[in-house]
Amino acid sequence: MSWRSLVFGRRLANRESQARRIGWFEGVPAMGLDGLGSSAYGPEAALAVLLPLGAAGLGSIGWVIAPVIALLGILYLSYRQVILAYPSNGGAYTVAQANLGERGALLAAAALMTDYVLNVAVGISAGVGALTSAVPALHAYTLPLCLGILVLVAVANLRGTREAGWLFALPTYLFLASFLFILGLALVRATASGGAPAPVVAPAPLAAGTAGAAAGWWLLVRAFAAGCTAMTGVEAVSNGVSAFREPVVREARRTLTVICAALALLLAGVALAAAHYQVGAMDQTRGDYQSVLSQLAGAAVGRGALYHVAMTSLLAVLCLSANTSFVGFPRVCQLVARDGYLPRPFAQADRRLVFSAGVTFLTLTAGALLVAFGGITDRLIPLFAIGAFLTFSVSQIGMVVHWRRAGGEPRRLAINAVGAAVTLAALAVITAAKFVQGAWLVLLAVPAIVLLLRATNRYYARQAARLAPDATFAVEEHDPPTVLVAYEERTRMSDRALRFAMTLSPDVVAIHLTGLSGPDEEEDLARLRAAFERDIAAPLTAAGETAPRLMMVPAPYREIDGPLLELVAKIDAATPGRSVAIIIPELVLRRWWERLLHGRRAARLRDQLMAHAGPRLMVVSSPWRA
């Protein structure tokens, strides 16, 4: 078993790709992780913006989270319709392509890609934030932990994650159960105590509000924009409708309902409990950092077994929410590549049926983001959600066009029109609110990606035009080619190459390059020529065959390709209309260390000849297994 099979698993045949169809119970973990995981960093991001207000800011959190939940409701209704209209694949790229043409589709693709990359970085960094909250000793290793988890997730996805249903279901439901219980308990205690409950473990004390800071509308808008990150991932169900079993639309819609309802409950619960227990956001670069959910759990149930179960499930959910990007990103890239906007390898399934080009690219870009931002969630958040809301908007606008074309569905058209308007407005607000903190980076990246996708497409089109054949195939030459054989000295290997050359053409020339190893080389060219005549040419001539000739060609600069190409040019001029084939005998090595002992002359010669070949040259490798 090779190391590859050990790490990545055995190869899979095309026919093994039929995935098991799933219902809503499996659908929630499979497609809801991204959305549900957002509840861990969305409210926290909003609280972080309110930090300058100190304890007073907690009073405003309701005003921030309420519109987020309302927006979530509108998105829920909109995406129910996407599922209905595109029951095979309702991803934004597909919807935009069907209704808005190339520009819309590329905009959707660029926005999706950007947010998939950010989702990996944010999910993992938030997961590590949960981990370092529970185990403060790990705080110093934030970035290495992030990168380690990234590599683990990447390797798991290069294996393929099709059989890992339970791996997703367990932490998802554990997370939902434990946090809904914790938040419920916290709110019951808060009500019972008249709004000022005593925490089991006190949360970090809030700093006093900065002098002069007030809950101005701009601060609230910025907090809302930050809180909108909680909605990323809601579109996942519409992307994967084809995975559901019959009745497809019902199962998919039920999944969407459960996800949106659970997310809304979590958001509301976190907002209320944070206000009652006076839990604010903390700076993740501080050694005593505690995430909001960690503080809330500690305040509600102390740091006992339940706390650790909840935090462990949270870590798992956040890491796995990064995983949803590893499913979605390569899939989008495959679609885009198939349409010729991304390099072709993105559309090619590897030995495990995984689109490994996409997985690798996602890993590298997310890793670069984690390194650039030090693995700190709070620094990544301003870049996030813009891509998601851009995707939402393009998708909803596409749906409006869809219903207009379909006609006769004014109610459905209205819902998606409202969705489009609201998401566009939210996009404008989020972009304005986060512009200085990093959103400008996304606003540069998305158009750049669109341009790159178009350029790629244009390149392929030009290439295809250049390669387009004439209407019918015509034979241009009938004579066999002149065959040159790279000839160092006589061996079994060179004999084999000469024999093969003689089956191809009566016109065979063995080429020996002189001076290849440098000025100190002592070569007995007379001996070489005599042996060639005696052992090869003479017996063949005696047998009535046309014997190959031996030609000595000086290589004054110790390059092999230069003299050979000059020779080929001469032959081309002498025999116009005939091809030339160069046969390079090549030793096939079985063990890696043999490469050290043989140099790369044959491979280098082949590469150089290919790079500088004229229109009538063929390079033939004659393998010899030593």
Which member of 543, 573, 576, 592 binds a copy of itself (CB under 8 A)?
543
- The DSSP bridge pattern shows strands 482-486 and 508-514 to be parallel
- If the CB atoms of residues 178 and 622 are measured against a copy of itself, the closer one turns out to be 622
- Please work out the total of residues on this chain that contact a copy of itself, with binding judged by CB under 8 A: 91
Closest CA to 62 of 73, 54, 72, 50: 50
Q: At 483, which helix (H) or strand (E)?
A: strand 482-486
Q: Does position 11 bind a copy of itself by CB under 8 A?
A: yes
CA distance 263 to 39: 7
Between CA 226 and CA 430 the distance in angstroms is: 8
C-alpha distances (whole Å) from 603 to each of 397, 407, 588, 595 are 54, 63, 11, 11
Which of the stretches 31-39, 196-204, 296-304, 473-481 binds a copy of itself when contact is defined by CB under 8 A? Answer: 473-481
Among 89, 460, 523, 552, binds a copy of itself (CB under 8 A): 460
Q: How far is CA 413 from the centre of its chain?
A: 34
Contact yes or no for 560/578 (Cβ under 8 A) = no
CA distance 29 to 23: 11
Q: Which stretch, 156-164, 285-293, 411-419, 605-613, contacts a copy of itself (CB under 8 A)?
A: 605-613
CA distances to 171, 321, 368, 428 from 176, in Å: 8, 14, 31, 32
Residue closer to a copy of itself, measured from CB, 75 or 536: 536
* Two tokens, residue 431: 């972009």
Q: Given the complex with a copy of itself, which of 195 and 519 has the nearer CB atom?
A: 519
Q: Cα–Cα distance between 110 and 357 in angstroms, integer?
A: 17
Interacting positions 247-276 with a copy of itself (CB under 8 A): none
Secondary structure of 527-548 in HEC code, one letter for each residue: HHHHHHHHHHHHHHHHCCCCCC
Closest to a copy of itself by CB, 328 vs 387, is 328
Is residue 468 near a copy of itself by the rule CB under 8 A?
yes
- The residue within the footprint of a copy of itself, chosen from 479, 533, 549, 570 (CB under 8 A), is 479
CB of 479 to a copy of itself, least distance (A): 7
For a copy of itself, the binding residue among 459, 461, 530, 566 (CB under 8 A) is: 459
Closest CB 456 distance from a copy of itself, rounded Å: 7
Other beta carbons within 10 Å of 522: 5
Cα-only R_g, the chain: 33
Q: Which is nearer to a copy of itself, 67 or 345 (CB)?
A: 345
Among positions 146, 494, 571, 605, the unique one binding a copy of itself when judged by CB under 8 A: 494
Check binding of 549 to a copy of itself (CB under 8 A).
no
Q: Show the site string, 13-42: x = touches a copy of itself by CB under 8 A, - = not.
A: xxx-x-------------------------
User: Given candidates 504, 523, 529, 553, which one binds a copy of itself under the rule CB under 8 A?
Assistant: 504
Nearest residue (CB) to a copy of itself, 198 versus 474: 474
User: Per the structure block, which two tokens stand in for 338?
Assistant: 């198939």
* DSSP assignment string, 501-520: HHHH-S-EEEEEEESTT-TT
Report d(CA 188, CA 521) in Å as an integer: 92
Which residues in 282-321 contact a copy of itself (CB under 8 A)?
none
CB atoms within 10 A of CB 88: 8
Quick one: 288 or 535, whose CB is closer to a copy of itself?
535
Q: Which of 67, 343, 374, 506 binds a copy of itself (CB under 8 A)?
A: 343
Amino acid 204 reads A
Nearer to a copy of itself (CB atom), residue 292 or residue 354: 354
Under the binding rule (CB under 8 A), the answer on residue 351 touching a copy of itself is yes
> Which member of 3, 305, 478, 573 binds a copy of itself (CB under 8 A)?
478
576 forms part of the interface with a copy of itself (CB under 8 A):
no
Positions in 428-457 near a copy of itself (CB under 8 A): 456
Token pair in block for residue 8: 């990545």
Considering only 265, 490, 552, 575, the residue that binds a copy of itself (CB under 8 A) is 490
Among 491, 525, 527, 533, binds a copy of itself (CB under 8 A): 491
Taking CB under 8 A as the rule, does residue 113 contact a copy of itself?
A: no
Q: Under the criterion CB under 8 A, does residue 1 sit at the interface with a copy of itself?
A: no
Say whether residue 348 binds a copy of itself (CB under 8 A): yes
CA 34, CA 320: separation in Å to the nearest integer? 8
Residue 581: which H helix or E strand, with range?
strand 580-588
Reply yes or no: is the peptide bond before residue 247 cis, omega within 30 of 0.
yes
- Cβ(211)–Cβ(51) under 8 Å? no
Our finding on whether 626 is near a copy of itself (CB under 8 A) is yes
C-beta closer to a copy of itself: residue 286 or 499:
499
Q: Which is nearer to a copy of itself, 393 or 579 (CB)?
A: 579
Q: What is the DSSP string of 119-183?
A: HHHHHHHHHHHHHHHH-GGGGGGHHHHHHHHHHHHHHHHHH--TT-HHHHHHHHHHHHHHHHHHH
C-alpha 237/C-alpha 234 separation (Å) is 7
Closest to a copy of itself by CB, 323 or 494: 494
Would you say 88 or 192 has its CB closer to a copy of itself? 88
| Least distance from a copy of itself to the Cβ atom of residue 536, Å | 4
Stretch that binds a copy of itself, among 91-99, 367-375, 411-419, 468-476 (CB under 8 A): 468-476
- Residue 514, exposed/middle/buried by CB under 10 A (0-12, 13-18, 19+)? middle
Q: Does 475 interact with a copy of itself (rule: CB under 8 A)?
A: yes
Interface with a copy of itself, residue 536, by CB under 8 A: yes
One of 283, 477, 533, 566 touching a copy of itself (CB under 8 A): 477
481 binds a copy of itself (CB under 8 A): yes
Q: Which is nearer to a copy of itself, 245 or 534 (CB)?
A: 534
Does 386 bind a copy of itself (CB under 8 A)? Our answer is no
2: contact with a copy of itself by CB under 8 A: no
Q: Does 541 bind a copy of itself (CB under 8 A)?
A: no
- Burial class from Cβ neighbours inside 10 Å (0-12, 13-18, 19+) for residue 249 reads middle
Residues ≥6 apart with Cβ < 8 Å to 178: 306, 309, 310, 313
User: Is there a contact between 292 and 132 (Cβ–Cβ < 8 Å)?
Assistant: no
Q: How far apart are CA 42 and CA 281, in angstroms?
A: 11
